[in-house]
Amino acid sequence: MPKRPVTPKPKRTKTADVNDLDLTCWREYDDIITDSLWQIPERDRSGAHAGDYHGNFVPQIPYQAMRRYTKQGDVVLDTFLGSGTSLIECRRLGRHGLGVELKRELAKQTRQRIEQEANPHDVTTTVLQGDSANVETTAPHIAEALRAMGKSSVQLALLHPPYHSIIKFSDGKHDLSNCDTVEDFAERFGQVVALTDRFLDAGRFLVLVIGDMYEAGEWIPLGFHCMQQVLQRGYTLKSLVVKDMQGNRAKRNLENIWRYRALAGGFYIFKHEYVMFFQKKSRGKS
Ligand SMILES: C[S@@+](CC[C@H](N)C(=O)[O-])C[C@H]1O[C@@H](n2cnc3c(N)ncnc32)[C@H](O)[C@@H]1O
């Protein structure tokens, strides 16, 4: 007898508590990527997403994270806010957003940029200026901003730190792109995880977006150093996504030079970065 195609029976799943997906119509979610290799051909440049901040991520990353791991009305915390990509996505998807950015002038511009985006779900998007690696000074501001939203915790954390010294974001000594060593960078990143952890609900997700770097002829697996910082705080790694970086500005129009250098120097050219998904353990789970 010919075999009939297998169609999984929709059922309540483990992730039903962290998103709004209705698995009775799972075939309709063709906007959601479920593979571990993300090839995103084009940056979303619609609305307030100008894509002009050097070092930003494509809006599709926070979009994917929020679709899978948040519900409408949840709060998303971004501790390296930059140009506010994630908070613009919050407005579109009906999630409240709270972001912390170190650079004062950028924080101001980002506030204005986010205001250019429509707010059809009437969510709150708050931009704080501060050092996310300083729990003592920054935690009270986050707590206060949450209180103003009528909340006390967040349901998704997005962390897109500098990739150590690859892009120097400022001259400030608290800027993670100015750490002297990889060890120092990893430790300071760990402090940001500690800050985030104070506010993230148990069972919810922390998403880390990071690439690796070369230093003195050596591939430094920055992503894995940062991963350790999250794991050692009791999180479970749920997915390690490899995302392509085809459109990387720094290397655009320089393909031949880089190819020559790679052949001569015995190395490979970075074409990927990581999007790592960690789940905070549910209470009672050791
Ligand atoms: C990779 S960018 C994030 C870009 C952002 N995802 C976007 O789409 O625009 C990292 C950001 O972290 C900021 N930063 C560096 N050190 C920081 C710290 N200690 N606390 C808060 N922000 C920091 C930098 O100024 C930079 O804007």
**From the CB of 163, is ligand 1 less than 6 Å away?**
no
With a 6 Å cutoff on the Cβ, whether 85 touches ligand 1 is yes
Residue 250's pLDDT is what? Answer: 57
155 CA from centroid of ligand 1 (Å): 20
For residue 143, the model assigns a pLDDT of: 98
**pLDDT lower than 50: segments of the chain:** 286
Ligand 1 pocket, 243 CB below 6 A? no
Distance 160 CA to ligand 1 centre (A): 7
Q: Is 174 in the pocket of ligand 1 (CB under 6 A)?
A: yes
| Cβ of 71 below 6 Å from ligand 1 | no
To the question of domain 49-280 being in CATH 3.10.100.10, the answer is no
101 lines ligand 1 (CB under 6 A): yes
Q: Which of 60, 105, 141, 169 to mutate to test the pocket of ligand 1 (most atoms within 8 A of CB)?
A: 169
Q: What is the pTM of this model?
A: 0.93
User: Quick one: pLDDT at residue 285?
Assistant: 55
Distance 247 CA to ligand 1 centre (A): 20
In this prediction, residue 89 carries a pLDDT of: 98
Please give the torsion angle defined by the CA atoms of residues 41, 43, 47 and 52, in that order, rounded to the nearest 10 degrees. Answer: -160
Return the pLDDT at 245.
84
User: Is any atom of ligand 1 closer than 6 Å to the C-beta of 270?
Assistant: no
pLDDT at 255: 83
For ligand 1, atom 8: residue with the closest CA: 56
Long-range contacts of 232-238 (CB under 8 A, 24+ apart): 232/190, 233/190, 233/193, 233/194, 233/197, 234/280, 234/281, 235/206, 235/278, 235/279, 235/280, 235/281, 236/278, 236/279, 236/281, 237/276, 237/277, 237/278, 238/205, 238/277, 238/278, 238/279
Ligand 1 pocket check for 103: Cβ under 6 Å: yes
| Beta carbon of 210 within 6 Å of any ligand 1 atom | no
Rounded to the nearest angstrom, the distance between the alpha carbon of 161 and the centre of ligand 1 is 6
Write down the residue that tokens 């402090």 correspond to.
191
pLDDT one-digit tens code per residue, 141-197: 999 999 999 999 999 999 999 999 889 999 999 999 999 999 999 999 999 999 999
Cα atoms in the Cβ-side hemisphere of radius 13 Å centred on 244 = 10
Confirm or reject: Cβ of 44 under 6 Å from ligand 1: no
What pLDDT is stored for residue 251 in this prediction? 57
User: Which atom of ligand 1 lies at the shortest distance from residue 163's CA?
Assistant: 1
Atom from ligand 1 closest to the CA of residue 158: 6
